Amino acid sequence: MSYVLTGSASHEADIRKSRFLALAAPVDSPQSALAFLDAQRDAQATHNCWAWQIGDQYRFNDDGEPGGTAGRPILQAIQSQACDRVAVLVIRWFGGIKLGTGGLVRAYGGVAAECLRLAEKAVLREECRVRCTCPYPDMDRVQARLLAAGARVDAAQFDARGVIWDLVMAKADAAGIEALYVDQTSGQGDWSILTE
């Protein structure tokens, strides 16, 4: 089971005179992850190390710390907490005492893990996208029933016959929502899965 953050989170720690600040936020694309990291980084800090994971995609950066001592431990904290669609930035202000490679791994990974542990989370729902059509006379009724069943409208286009919806729903609910749709349109609409 995977989890997503329901909002941003932070955790601060002083470790041998260095100050570490971990910031975490939910993200839905590599672009939104990089936008979060760019917006939160502190140019006055000694290091801005980070990691993000979205499904099978991930990236991490040591920002000048010895290789493998910052970004990878942050990513491991994300994975050990079973988080997905999340970016974590750990900012370090050097306090004059070197931590060594083991100390850096423990500091970056520990601060990131504690930040994620404290964050409010929800279970990640596996979703799919569906395109369906509906004639104008049935549109309001069908849309109300689909939304009540757990689908959400991601896009709508209109043509001479009616509306074309792109719906997003939990994979687990898709078969039931399709049966409801067929019933509500008397089998007259088109239903096609865009992504599994």
| In the chain, where the domains are located | 3-123, 127-195
What does the alpha-carbon distance between residue 23 and residue 82 come to, in Å, rounded to a whole number?
A: 17
Look at the pTM and tell me if it is higher than 0.85: no
The two beta strands, 18-26 and 191-195, are: unpaired
Do 139 and 162 form a contact (C-beta atoms < 8 A)?
yes
Q: What percent of the chain has pLDDT over 90?
A: 69
Residues 20-36 have pLDDT tens digits of: 999 999 998 999 999 99
For 135-163, give one letter per residue: b (16+ CB within 10 A) or e.
Answer: eeebeeebbebbeebbbeeeeeeeeeebb
The two most distant CA atoms of the chain are separated, in Å, by 73
Mean pLDDT of 148-167: 90
What does the alpha-carbon distance between residue 151 and residue 44 come to, in Å, rounded to a whole number?
A: 45
Mean pLDDT of 128-134: 91
What does the alpha-carbon distance between residue 52 and residue 44 come to, in Å, rounded to a whole number?
A: 22
pLDDT at 112 over 80: yes
Residue 2 binned pLDDT confidence (cut-offs 50, 70, 90): confident
Do 23 and 40 form a contact (C-beta atoms < 8 A)?
yes
Q: Look at the domain 3-123 and name its fold.
A: Ribosomal Protein S5; domain 2 (3.30.230)
pLDDT at 61 over 70: yes
Do 115 and 10 form a contact (C-beta atoms < 8 A)?
yes
**Least confident piece of the model among 47-61, 117-131, 138-152, 182-196:** 182-196
What does the alpha-carbon distance between residue 118 and residue 79 come to, in Å, rounded to a whole number?
A: 15
pLDDT at 196 over 70: no
Question: Do 3-123 and 127-195 share a fold?
Answer: no
Pick the CATH number of 127-195 from 3.40.50.10440, 1.10.540.10, 3.30.70.240, 1.10.10.10: 3.30.70.240
- Top pLDDT among 125 and 173 is at 173
